[in-house]
């Protein structure tokens, strides 16, 4: 059985449109998740370790104020298009669109005020919560009225996140959750003692602004071969990598399949990521620099968390040979990601 509770988390500032931010607490026998109506943010996720001790394994803030200031999308649902669009430009049906540039020369995670910065309308379910919003035609430069539903359900150690959307005009869409994990417990210094594996035979090399070059490269014989578990710290050293911020290409079938695993041997905490999406962005918190203070006023330094963001491939709207990034009127965007937490 999953217990669902709701409570007030805070009040949005007037300049952000005001409104009450609620927190939804989903609790099973092994996992407790807290989710905000602001940005559908996973603000806490507690799981047991080998010793039965519970720890919060996601980065974030204790108060609403932290989330209304600039932060690197901690725990949020990002959209209308997650990841990067080159030069913030794309064309649909012969019409050019220009988006806000918020990541060097590119547009990232929906623009200046993406899905992570807005209030969603919640509906409590027996084992979770469904958030809805209408993204109006022209919001952040995107075409079409887009209706979006994000549903979180918890069953035992499995958190499912379902994304659905319908549009009035052809529009690019790519939704993901941007939770930052540290299975040693949030606030732990680094993730070097974590073991990571990703079920991908290929990945997307990127240019110096993190836009895919268009090549789909084999992981075989490279530092991107994570098909067998690697100890992250040693692996980064061995291949002289500063960290990962890359899309790994998954088999393109709409069925649920295992995409990645992370494990923290000292506590035996483990998580699996299953998805229907064609890609997963592995990011090792390279841009965290200790300047942000999170829960308990703890600083979050570089490599103190990892993200496994299930998604379409970055800049797919500008790369015809990448998986389709467009949603048409009359169709439904529908993807699910399952995060499975256990002690292994």
Sheet holding 146-155, edge to edge: 121-125, 128-135, 146-155, 158-167, 333-343, 269-275, 257-264, 195-198, 230-231
Select which of 178, 194, 235, 335 is catalytic: 178
Reference 77, options 168, 162, 16; nearest CA is 162
- Residue 62, C-beta contacts closer than 8 angstroms, at least 6 positions apart: 294, 295, 296
Active-site residue flag, 53:
no
Give the residue numbers of the binding site for beta-D-galactose.
83-84, 178-180, 245
**Catalytic: 199?**
no
Catalytic residue among 235, 272, 309, 335: 309
Kindly state the helix (H) or strand (E) to which residue 25 belongs, with its residue range: strand 20-27
Instruction: Compute the residue count for the chain.
Output: 344
What's the CA dihedral at 138, 140, 146, 148 to 10 degrees? -160
The residue to which tokens 């899905």 are assigned: 115
Q: Backbone dihedral region of 37: left (phi > 0), alpha (psi from -120 to 50 degrees) or beta?
A: alpha
Half-sphere exposure of 225 (CA within 13 A, CB side): 8
**Measuring CA to CA, which residue among 253, 165, 245, 263 is closest to residue 203?**
245
Q: Which residues are annotated as a binding site?
A: 83-84, 178-180, 245
User: Which residues are known catalytic residues?
Assistant: 178, 309
């Amino acid at each position: 059985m999953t217990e669902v509770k709701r409570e007030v988390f805070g009040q949005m500032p007037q300049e952000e449109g005001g409104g009450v931010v609620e927190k939804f607490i989903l609790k099973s026998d092994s996992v407790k998740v807290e989710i905000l109506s602001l940005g559908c943010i996973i603000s806490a996720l507690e799981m047991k370790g080998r010793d039965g001790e519970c720890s919060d394994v996601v980065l974030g803030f204790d108060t609403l104020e932290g989330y209304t200031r600039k932060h690197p999308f901690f725990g949020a649902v990002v959209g209308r298009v997650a990841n990067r669009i080159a030069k913030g430009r794309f064309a649909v049906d012969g019409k050019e669109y220009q988006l806000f540039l918020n990541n060097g020369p590119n547009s990232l995670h929906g623009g200046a005020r993406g899905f992570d910065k807005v209030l969603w309308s919640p509906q409590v379910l027996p084992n979770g919560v469904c958030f809805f919003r209408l993204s109006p035609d022209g919001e952040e430069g995107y075409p079409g009225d887009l209706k979006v539903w994000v549903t979180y359900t918890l069953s035992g150690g499995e958190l499912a996140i379902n994304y659905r959307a319908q549009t009035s005009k052809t529009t690019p869409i790519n939704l993901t959750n941007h939770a930052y994990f540290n299975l040693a417990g949030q606030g732990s210094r680094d993730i070097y003692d974590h073991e990571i594996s990703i079920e991908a035979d290929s990945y997307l090399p990127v240019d110096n602004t993190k836009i895919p070059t268009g090549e789909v490269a084999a992981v075989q014989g490279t530092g991107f071969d994570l098909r067998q578990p690697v100890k992250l710290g040693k692996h980064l050293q061995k291949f002289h990598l500063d960290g990962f911020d890359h899309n790994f290409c998954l088999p393109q079938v709409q069925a649920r399949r295992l995409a990645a695993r992370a494990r923290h041997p000292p506590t035996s905490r483990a998580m699996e990521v299953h998805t229907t999406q064609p890609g997963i962005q592995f990011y090792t918190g390279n841009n965290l620099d200790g300047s942000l203070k999170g829960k308990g006023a703890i600083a979050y330094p570089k490599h103190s968390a990892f993200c496994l963001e299930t998604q379409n491939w970055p800049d797919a709207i500008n790369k015809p040979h990448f998986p389709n990034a467009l949603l048409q009127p009359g169709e439904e965007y529908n993807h699910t990601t399952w995060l499975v937490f256990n002690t292994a």
